[in-house]
Chains A and B, each alone.
Chain A
Amino acid sequence: MTAVYEPRYERWDETRGAEIIAEHSKQEGATLVILHALQAAFGYVPEAAVPMVAQALNLSRAEVHGVFTFYHDFRHKPAGRHVLKLCRAEACQAAGGDALAARAEAKLGVSLGSTTADDRVTLEPIYCLGLCATAPSAMFDGRLIGRLDERRIDALVAEAQR
């Protein structure tokens, strides 16, 4: 059976973008709220949205761009179909996370912070998921996984490649 890929996000559309921006722009200090909402809808923050946000909030383009680039969460382009985030912080390092990260990198043929050539998987570091007593930890498309071991990493990689 061939798996049919269901896109998790909408395609960028200016009208829809404007709608999302308008929905949140009345809040005090709305910039992050809007950037989050745009990314939740489109999977990234399209460059074209930046001047729209600036206009809605009466800010300069440079200001909004500055905010957008400061925070690690905001994507400049769509991620792969699946996103596998591996915790690389100390508690997960102590529990054997280094070797598991290396294993995932080797299996996927990419290093942390990049996407496979077929756009299937984006592999990313994350610094603590608050699961430090059941480490090592990961997040796969928003789902949390604790007590990672070789078997679980392999299963995640396989799931991501499907």
Chain B
Amino acid sequence: MKMRIFVPRDAAAIAVGADEVATALEQVAAQRGLSIEIIRTGSRGLCWLEPMVEVATLKGRVAYGPVGPEDVASVFESMASNGSHPLQLGAADEIPWLKRQTRLTFARCGVIDPRSLDDYRTHGGYKGLARALSLGSDAILNEVTASGLRGRGGAGFPTGIKWKTVAQAKADRKFIVCNADEGDSGTFADRMIMEGDPFLVIEGMTTAGITVGATKGYIYIRSEYPHAVEAMNAAIAAAKRGGYLGDNIGGSSYSFDLEVRVGAGAYVCGEETSLLESLEGRRGLVRAKPPLPAHYGLFGKPTVINNVLSFAAIPFILAEGAKAYADFGMGRSRGTMPIQLAGNIRQGGLFETAFGVTLGELVDDIGGGTATGRPIRAVQVGGPLGAYFPRALFDTPFDYEAFAARDGLIGHGGIVVFDDSVDMRKQARFAMEFCAIESCGKCTPCRIGSTRGVETIEKIINGERVGENLALVEDLCNTMKFGSLCALGGFTPYPVLSALKHFREDFAPVPTTLQAAE
């Protein structure tokens, strides 16, 4: 029998040598005169074990990792002979880090061939759309609303309400837009799902289309994600061939078409109105709201704009019912969140779990502490606009409201771990610098305030009139918070003020941590 070997084609796996491993496996097999089939999957999200390679056995898939090109010969030998190997991880599905998760959105990611529509369907794909087609618009809206799904792009707005607004709007054309700009450092879930299970995103967007009466959708993917662009384009072409995009979707009377558009390196274009401007071919200047995109969106038409993960949650909700989703979670945060563990972390990757897990469990227990082995000192949650949390706040549960109550945000679910060598003055400075680089320029507090912020924090770093300048930074932050049009200028104060508040010792004329290290 032909051996079936699974090697990820996820960008993070490729970046650490997955392509070389695939090539080496073919060579070794050829030398041994054995015929193998290599299936390029997405990633299971255990990034510290990438490249993680699996072989199909009678007892399910057995994993090995991290496999370097130099390990390939011995790993192949072990696969062929069912023998043991130091890199063998046992049955893939039984790996504790995977088993502890609740994978609703990422159930297929890393398992199936993302280029194969058949594989997607065999693994339960398009069941949600089939049910949606039988339900009709009103009943779909009820399901999405009852699931409690809130937008996964950061703001946490209820998806059902957004869809309903667009469904009720009267217009000759409506649009579905998928926000795949994923600019937050520490986040990669959108990328992983687009590369590992792209039909899921298509199914979610198609469902949105039939619900609100839109026949055209765009996926706006950042240019830093060439592999995701390729994966989505391939899946769109396959879905068209298979009758899942175009006219008479799945044999119904509905039509829906999709197109990928690529961003051009502007963080602010992740903000929904800036993204719409960019899609229309203009500079990504943020629009004043109202009007909301739901009323006046792309090309002035009613538009559903959602994050990749919001669309990707939809097929499960429709296939299994709203309750099956809403049964997970806490408070007003229902369902699961694909959490991304990143930075200086021993076991980084994608961990999908119900809301409510604490920050401490995530970084200490699941993440296993830092990669450097030094103590964790600060954790930034929610990207460049998110607050830095000290250990004292590690009991915060992963939940929109709990983080907001502590002057933070969960954003798109990215968690970046820093060890005790971090200089929080530098992190505060960077937050301001990033805002200055990426500001769309429309409002003064953001454009000018961030540049002034960089200068002032630099003075603090140089020990110039520290007390006075600290007060000035706090003042600037307040101006930005209340005088900015969008959350780039409005939320940049979060990382800055949290650094000042929780790590004040770093901002003393001579940082005490430096003294201690001396």
Contacts and interface: CB of A to CB of B under 8 A. Distances in A.
Interface of A: 28-33, 35-36, 57, 63, 66-67, 70-74, 89-96, 98, 126-135, 137, 139, 142, 144-147
A-B pairs with lowest CB-CB distance, top 10: A133-B348, A31-B281, A94-B343, A71-B264, A89-B185, A146-B15, A132-B342, A133-B47, A72-B265, A29-B281
Nearest to B345: A133
Given A28-B299, A126-B224, A71 B266 contact: yes
Contact of B281 (A32, A89, A133, A135): A32
B188 A131 contact: yes
Given A67-B283, A91-B342, A130 B224 contact: yes
Contact of B12 (A71, A89, A93, A131): A131
B343 A128 contact: no
A63 B263 CA distance: 18
A100 to B, nearest CB: 13
Interface stretch (B98-106, B241-249, B415-423): B415-423
B343 A135 contact: yes
Given A33-B281, A146-B15, 7 more contacts: A63-B282, A90-B185, A94-B419, A95-B344, A126-B265, A133-B188, A133-B342
A32 B188 contact: no
Number of contact residues on B: which range applies? Answer: 35 or more
B16 interface: yes
A73 B342 contact: no
A89 B384 contact: yes
Contacts of B349: 133
Contacts of A133: 12, 47-48, 188, 340-342, 345, 348-350
Contact of A129 (B224, B261, B437, B438): B224
Contact of A73 (B223, B345, B384, B430): B223
A95 B348 CA distance: 12
Contacts of B227: 144
Q: Is the interface of B mostly helix, strand, loop or mixed?
A: mixed
B264 A132 contact: no
A128 B350 CA distance: 16
20 contacts: A29-B299, A32-B262, A32-B264, A33-B281, A36-B262, A70-B266, A71-B284, A89-B185, A89-B186, A90-B185, A90-B343, A91-B186, A94-B416, A98-B426, A126-B265, A128-B186, A132-B188, A132-B343, A134-B348, A139-B224
Contacts of A146: 12, 15-16
A24 to B, nearest CB: 11
A90 B264 contact: no
A131 B16 CA distance: 10
B15 A132 contact: no
A16 B324 CA distance: 56
Nearest to B347: A133
B371 interface: yes
Among the interface residues A32, A91, A130, which one has the most CB atoms of the partner chain B within 10 A?
Answer: A130
Contacts of B333: none
Interface of B: 11-12, 14-16, 47-48, 50, 182-188, 190-191, 223-227, 261-267, 278-284, 299, 340-345, 348-350, 371, 380, 384, 414, 416-419, 422, 426-427, 430, 434, 437-438
B53 to A, nearest CB: 16
A96 B152 CA distance: 29
B278 A130 contact: no
B284 A70 contact: yes
Contacts of B419: 94
A74 to B, nearest CB: 6
Contacts of B371: 95
Given A31-B282, A72-B266, A135-B343, A90 B12 contact: no
A132 B185 contact: yes
A31 B224 CA distance: 19
B12 A134 contact: yes
A142 B226 CA distance: 9
Contacts of B11: 129-131, 144
A67 to B, nearest CB: 5
Among the interface residues B50, B281, B348, B416, which one has the most CB atoms of the partner chain A within 10 A?
Answer: B281
Contacts of B437: 127
A74 B186 contact: no
Contacts of B380: 90
Given A90-B427, A135-B343, A130 B265 contact: no
A145 B263 CA distance: 21
Contacts of A94: 342-344, 416-419, 422
A91 B349 CA distance: 12
A128 B182 CA distance: 9
Contacts of A29: 279-282, 299
Contacts of B50: 134
A147 B16 contact: yes
Contacts of B427: 90, 93
Contacts of B184: 128
Contacts of A57: 281
A26 to B, nearest CB: 13
A91 B383 CA distance: 9
B228 to A, nearest CB: 8
A128 B416 CA distance: 12
Contact of B430 (A67, A93, A131): A93
Contacts of B299: 28-29
A67 B12 contact: no
